[in-house]
Amino acid sequence: MTPNHAVVSPGEWLEARKRLLALEKEHTRLRDKINAERQALPWVKMEKTYVFDTAAGPKTLAELFDGRSQLLVYHFMLGANWEAGCKSCSFVADHFAGALPHLNHHDVTLIAASNAPLEKIDAYRKRMGWHFPWVSALGNGFNSDFHVSFTPAELAGGKVVYNFTEIDGGDAYEELPGLSAFYKDEDGTVYHTYSTYARGLEELVGTFMLLDRAPKGRNEGEVMDFVRRHDEYDETPRRRA
């Protein structure tokens, strides 16, 4: 098939690539600026005590740090009555394993938290072959307080808050994705430092970053329409125009 791009000489390609490089450098500088602003955000002291069900028994939020001072919690979409975890959250979680030793060595603990019972979490984790820490927040209000879990009444009530914005309840689901960050000081006080949702989670996904550099990019119709749980892909590679 003829490529739907101009085919030029190496010299012309180099000039075009240099123009793109200028934009990429601008993007890098903007990312550095955003990172600096993120690190400068004020913190909120966590006043509420949350108790999670874990493989090692009940643990408070402070105990989930596992001896480190920083905690990242991925709000994983797996409801109490769901048969499987969200395929998009599963896509994100596929990227956790390789990062864990690096994060742990850098004083950061990464876990997932879902509003499903621990036995359902463990069954799905076993199916996916994952080994990252994953706890149950069922019934403790944690995911609700961080605006990623909603009751049927809340969804039917007109508006819910997600990604720091009011959205129509009809456009939301009972579970939505997010990432929240916490710090614990030497006295054991825990602070909420950051949360991100929706497309703010994309930078967690190395596959996206690689696809963005492939000839066809993400090659989507609708956002993430190509994503499947990693044990659900068929053997035929996906092809689009």
Q: How far apart are CA 74 and CA 96, in angstroms?
A: 10
- Residue 227: its pLDDT value, please? 86
Q: Which residues pair with 191 in a beta bridge?
A: 45, 183
- Residue 1: its pLDDT value, please? 46
CA 90 – CA 68 distance, rounded (Å):
25
CA distance 168 to 217: 31
Fold annotation for 44-203: Glutaredoxin (3.40.30)
Q: pLDDT by residue (tens digit) across 148-182?
A: 999 999 998 888 999 999 988 888 889 999 999 99
Query: What tokens does 93 get?
Result: 């979680």
Query: d(Cα 72, Cα 93) in Å, to the nearest integer?
Result: 13
Domain boundaries, the chain: 10-39, 44-203
pLDDT along the chain (241 residues), means of 10: 79 96 97 97 97 97 98 97 95 95 97 97 96 96 96 89 90 92 97 96 93 87 84 77 60
pTM: 0.92
Identify the CA nearest to 112 among candidates 79, 146, 136: 136
